[in-house]
A and B are shown apart, each in its own frame.
Chain A
Amino acid sequence: MGFFIAQILTGLANASALFMVASGLSLIFGVTRIVNFAHGSFYMLGAYVGYSFMQVLPGAWGFWTSILLAGLVVGIIGIVVEMLVLRPVYKAPELFQLVATFGVILVVQDLTLLIWGADDFLGPRAPGLKGIIRIMGEPVPKYDLALIALTPFVAFALWWLITKTRTGILVRAATQDREMVGALGVNQAWLFTGVFFLGCALAGLGGAVQLPKGGADLLMDFNILSAIFVVVVIGGMGSLPGAYVAAVLISVLNVFGVNYLPQSTLALMFVVMVVVLIFRPFGLFGREEVAGEHGQVGEPERPIKPAGQTARMIVMAGLVLLAFLPLIGDSFLLVLITDIAIFCLFAASLHFLLGLGGLVSFGHAAYFGGGAYAAALLVTYAGTPMELALILAPLAAGLTAIIFGWVCLRLTGVYFAMLTLAFAQLLWSLVFQWGDFTGGDDGLVDIWPSEWASGTTTFYYLALVLCIGGIIILRHTAHAPFGYALRGARDSARQAEATGINTKHVQWVAFGFAGAMAGIAGGLFVFSKGSIFPNELEIARSFDALIVVFLGGVKTLAGGVVGGAALEGAKDYITRFEYWRLLLGLLIIFVVIVAPDGIAGTLRKWAEKIGLMKREDQA
């Protein structure tokens, strides 16, 4: 019994920081409709800033003042980010802002490394709360009890701010209808900035307050990211009580999971999330998200057309160049181009879902990594030859996508995105924690191509044929009735349903198809590297693909391929620098602000301007 209570108390204490960070995220989403991927970074900054203050300010007063100052400083950093990065892109398509916040993650990562160095910091213990108290014989740290007492206070203060003050009323009004609030003469820009400050300050507080329990390290941002998304989604996007209940639920479950199911602690929270969303699609306290008919703002998407004469010539020339590359290039270049080709197919498969179907999958790495792991497992355990493994990889990935898609497609918009992320994380945690079978963190190694394809040049041709073949199939499907139906379901599900199209079924098939295509890329990847590690299933990998699609241009058919080639190529060059994340992050933010149509879209506009391409009639 004592053990049981102690476990619950630990869970409640862990919920404290989680709640603060998650409520900030929820608040920001509620008002600005921005899913702030950089929220984990603000949490990390809170920990580092708090740590630095604690080194200077002595005693109990110093400790708590440091925490408050950390919140304040991070809040101010939040204001800077909001004004410099997000303000210019509020008018851009909603999901473009996601990419901008992802750029912020990279920048913050490297700036933190630059300022505080690569070493982990052990958090100082809270003065006066260093010991433990025995509750029914079980030791419970005093600081845990302080956190448990503190959290309701923070929650109450937030509740009071939101429900009782004039600012709170404006914030709530803005969550419901920000256009109307603007029409009533409220300066939206400052309301957004204010909310961003508050949300980031909460993340900073959360980061600082957990210092005595967890310390500060450079992996904190991604480590908490999935947990806060799970909390916000379970609680309901934009709901504070929901965030609190969900934070407690997840933390307590986690503590018990560590004791009873140590193999599946990571998977557990995603299972809970999936179960909650199946029964309550908009979270425990959330309300239905009414998605707009078109789901996008900004310039309407243009009709697609088969490539024109000029474009065909350019592509043909490119293909010829690629075909003769082994004659002129060295093996390093061939390996690089192989990598790029694989990544392009991966990105193109996501673009098919996202660009044509409007289905924003945050977890596309599940199908890339899934295909890769399927091939690797087949080779490791069944001695499957490469040829067969390359056929089975897309089948396995497609099947995974069909199963995941069946659940995810019950939801739309942000909830759909979050569910795809959750499933990808589920797969990742399975692979990561089921070490006996998947090799866990050590991955699976010694997976090499068949004898005939083992040469760099031969494998280069193999990868080229399969990837370009896959991209051509994807592109052709976009022009086929199926691709049109997918776009129709996105443009107006109402009209599509009223003219005999089963939109959910079309989307489901598309999900499986895109998954299978990503599986081909994954299968090729594993044979090109000879090994596979869980990080190919990570959130960061999914984000890579998302960023590529957005940078390439969502509204342009070639977007996935162009973005894939550009980013993978740029990465190869940039990663030679020590602070390459900073560079890449700034590059991403720059492209988002300057060229919101993506690379392919912007190139097309330029081509139209100078008369290379025919202009279409515009609104």
Chain B
Amino acid sequence: MSAVLQVNGLSKEFGAIQAVDNVSFELQKGELLALIGPNGAGKSTCFNMLMGQLKSSGGTVRLNGKDLKGLKPRQIWRLGVGRTFQITGTYASMTVIENVQMALISHHRKIYTLLPRAHLMYRDEALALLDLVGMADQSERHCAVLAYGDLKRLELAIALAHEPTLLLMDEPTAGMAPAERIALMQLTADIVESRGVSVLFTEHDMDVVFAHAHRVMVLNRGQLIANGSVDEIRNDERVREVYLGGGTLFKHDGESANA
């Protein structure tokens, strides 16, 4: 089985700060991989580089063998990568279903068509996606009035619109109630199962991570310090040190300024 995503020696410096330091990993097809680490470990920086929002200082990212260097977020999206944001980004002035239709219209490259009416396009596909995330009953609601958890689910539907092979989720459950968190990750796990999508996600809630991740990577101060199954990570001395405080984390906290 070949890897969907191959990351090799990925690095990012902000001035003297090494935010991401020589990170290498692979993500297999149908795998649900968690990237965890304390605040300032470099998770979001990693994500932004994978998605093309941030230029890396070094290293390569390959998607199904293709180098992503220098590609913009929208080009990477066209290669079959979906993403959800840590802070949701939805079109507040549109209805729920129109948000999904927008992604479908873009996927079918119909942005510059002038004749059809946008709200009638790809409705069935959009409804099916909303049904998948459990939002079909709210499809005609105004996006600006949704609860935060619903926005997160809507974002997931948008991210799935172009049938991605890879899904990047930056703190998908941040700001949600505990019950919602479990439900959303269960939903993600089901999607991985049924669609064969590979998912890389960052997460702070260890219950969520340990319950659903197939594999876990731990990032600390820019470096990958562990990479293994849930059980291996649970019993890893260095990970415990990072999370429970072996003394070094807090001593050098001031140095790692980047979240």
B residues less than 8 Å from A306 (CB atoms): 117
B residues less than 8 Å from A103 (CB atoms): none
Asked if B249 is an interface residue, CB under 8 A from chain A, the answer is no
Tell me the smallest distance from the CB of A402 to a CB of chain B, in Å.
15
Question: Which size bracket describes the interface of A in this complex?
Answer: 35 or more
Contact check, A495 vs B98: say whether CB atoms are below 8 A apart: no
**C-alpha gap A302/B145 in the complex (Å):** 10
Contact check, A481 vs B74: say whether CB atoms are below 8 A apart: no
Tell me the smallest distance from the CB of B157 to a CB of chain A, in Å.
12
**C-alpha gap A477/B113 in the complex (Å):** 9
B residues less than 8 Å from A301 (CB atoms): 92-93, 144
Asked if B136 is an interface residue, CB under 8 A from chain A, the answer is no
Asked if A448 is an interface residue, CB under 8 A from chain B, the answer is no
Contact check, B113 vs A482: say whether CB atoms are below 8 A apart: yes
Contact check, B51 vs A506: say whether CB atoms are below 8 A apart: no
B residues less than 8 Å from A491 (CB atoms): 90-94
**C-alpha gap A481/B102 in the complex (Å):** 8
- Pick from A62-70, A226-234, A282-290, A496-504 the stretch touching chain B: A496-504
Contact check, B107 vs A498: say whether CB atoms are below 8 A apart: no
A-contact 0/1 string along B223-256, CB 8 Å cutoff: 0000000000000000000000000000000000
Contact check, B98 vs A303: say whether CB atoms are below 8 A apart: yes
**C-alpha gap A498/B143 in the complex (Å):** 18
Tell me the smallest distance from the CB of A139 to a CB of chain B, in Å.
55
Contact check, B95 vs A303: say whether CB atoms are below 8 A apart: yes
Tell me the smallest distance from the CB of B82 to a CB of chain A, in Å.
8
Contact check, A484 vs B89: say whether CB atoms are below 8 A apart: no
A-contact 0/1 string along B37-52, CB 8 Å cutoff: 0000000000000010
Contact check, A484 vs B102: say whether CB atoms are below 8 A apart: yes
CB-based nearest B residue for A489: B91
Contact check, B142 vs A303: say whether CB atoms are below 8 A apart: yes
CB-based nearest B residue for A513: B114
Tell me the smallest distance from the CB of B84 to a CB of chain A, in Å.
9
Tell me the smallest distance from the CB of B81 to a CB of chain A, in Å.
9
Contact check, A487 vs B116: say whether CB atoms are below 8 A apart: no
Contact check, A495 vs B89: say whether CB atoms are below 8 A apart: yes
**Given A497-B72, A499-B74, A499-B106, CB of A483 within 8 Å of CB of B118:** yes
Contact check, B74 vs A497: say whether CB atoms are below 8 A apart: yes
Partner of A499, one of B72, B77, B112, B141: B77
**Given A303-B142, A480-B118, A498-B51, CB of A487 within 8 Å of CB of B111:** no
**C-alpha gap A293/B107 in the complex (Å):** 23
Asked if A494 is an interface residue, CB under 8 A from chain B, the answer is yes
**Given A300-B93, A509-B112, CB of A479 within 8 Å of CB of B118:** yes
A-contact 0/1 string along B116-154, CB 8 Å cutoff: 111101000000000000000000011111000000000
A residues less than 8 Å from B118 (CB atoms): 479-481, 483-484
Asked if B66 is an interface residue, CB under 8 A from chain A, the answer is no
Contact check, A480 vs B91: say whether CB atoms are below 8 A apart: no
CB-based nearest A residue for B98: A303
Asked if B105 is an interface residue, CB under 8 A from chain A, the answer is yes
Asked if B103 is an interface residue, CB under 8 A from chain A, the answer is yes
Asked if A488 is an interface residue, CB under 8 A from chain B, the answer is yes
**Given A300-B144, A303-B142, A481-B105, CB of A492 within 8 Å of CB of B117:** no
Asked if B195 is an interface residue, CB under 8 A from chain A, the answer is no
Asked if B161 is an interface residue, CB under 8 A from chain A, the answer is yes
Asked if B73 is an interface residue, CB under 8 A from chain A, the answer is yes
**C-alpha gap A619/B78 in the complex (Å):** 35
**C-alpha gap A484/B94 in the complex (Å):** 9
Asked if A130 is an interface residue, CB under 8 A from chain B, the answer is no
Asked if A410 is an interface residue, CB under 8 A from chain B, the answer is no
Contact check, B142 vs A498: say whether CB atoms are below 8 A apart: no
Asked if A119 is an interface residue, CB under 8 A from chain B, the answer is no
A residues less than 8 Å from B83 (CB atoms): 498
Tell me the smallest distance from the CB of A490 to a CB of chain B, in Å.
8
Contact check, A302 vs B78: say whether CB atoms are below 8 A apart: no
Contact check, B112 vs A492: say whether CB atoms are below 8 A apart: no
**C-alpha gap A500/B162 in the complex (Å):** 10
Tell me the smallest distance from the CB of B97 to a CB of chain A, in Å.
10
Contact check, B90 vs A492: say whether CB atoms are below 8 A apart: yes
Partner of A506, one of B94, B111, B141: B111
**C-alpha gap A101/B248 in the complex (Å):** 58
Which residues of chain A from 542 to 578 have a CB within 8 Å of any chain B CB? Answer: none
Partner of B114, one of A476, A490, A618: A476
A residues less than 8 Å from B73 (CB atoms): 497-498
Contact check, A487 vs B91: say whether CB atoms are below 8 A apart: yes
Contact check, A494 vs B94: say whether CB atoms are below 8 A apart: no
Tell me the smallest distance from the CB of B172 to a CB of chain A, in Å.
15
Asked if A616 is an interface residue, CB under 8 A from chain B, the answer is yes
B residues less than 8 Å from A618 (CB atoms): 142, 145
Tell me the smallest distance from the CB of A477 to a CB of chain B, in Å.
6
B-contact 0/1 string along A586-618, CB 8 Å cutoff: 000000000000000000000000000000111
**C-alpha gap A2/B90 in the complex (Å):** 63
A residues less than 8 Å from B51 (CB atoms): 498
Asked if A312 is an interface residue, CB under 8 A from chain B, the answer is no
**C-alpha gap A481/B116 in the complex (Å):** 7
Tell me the smallest distance from the CB of A408 to a CB of chain B, in Å.
21
B residues less than 8 Å from A304 (CB atoms): 93
Contact check, A482 vs B114: say whether CB atoms are below 8 A apart: yes
**Given A495-B158, A617-B142, CB of A501 within 8 Å of CB of B89:** no
A residues less than 8 Å from B119 (CB atoms): 305, 479
Tell me the smallest distance from the CB of A537 to a CB of chain B, in Å.
29
CB-based nearest B residue for A473: B114
Tell me the smallest distance from the CB of A189 to a CB of chain B, in Å.
28
**C-alpha gap A305/B73 in the complex (Å):** 30
Tell me the smallest distance from the CB of A249 to a CB of chain B, in Å.
32
**C-alpha gap A519/B155 in the complex (Å):** 40
CB-based nearest A residue for B103: A499
CB-based nearest A residue for B168: A498
Contact check, B77 vs A500: say whether CB atoms are below 8 A apart: yes
Chain A residues in contact with chain B, CB under 8 A?
293-294, 300-306, 476-477, 479-485, 487-488, 490-492, 494-502, 506, 509, 616-619
The contact sample of 21 A-B pairs, CB cut-off 8 A, is A293-B89, A300-B93, A300-B144, A301-B92, A305-B119, A480-B114, A480-B118, A481-B105, A482-B113, A484-B98, A484-B102, A487-B93, A488-B102, A492-B91, A495-B155, A496-B91, A496-B102, A499-B106, A499-B107, A499-B162, A509-B112
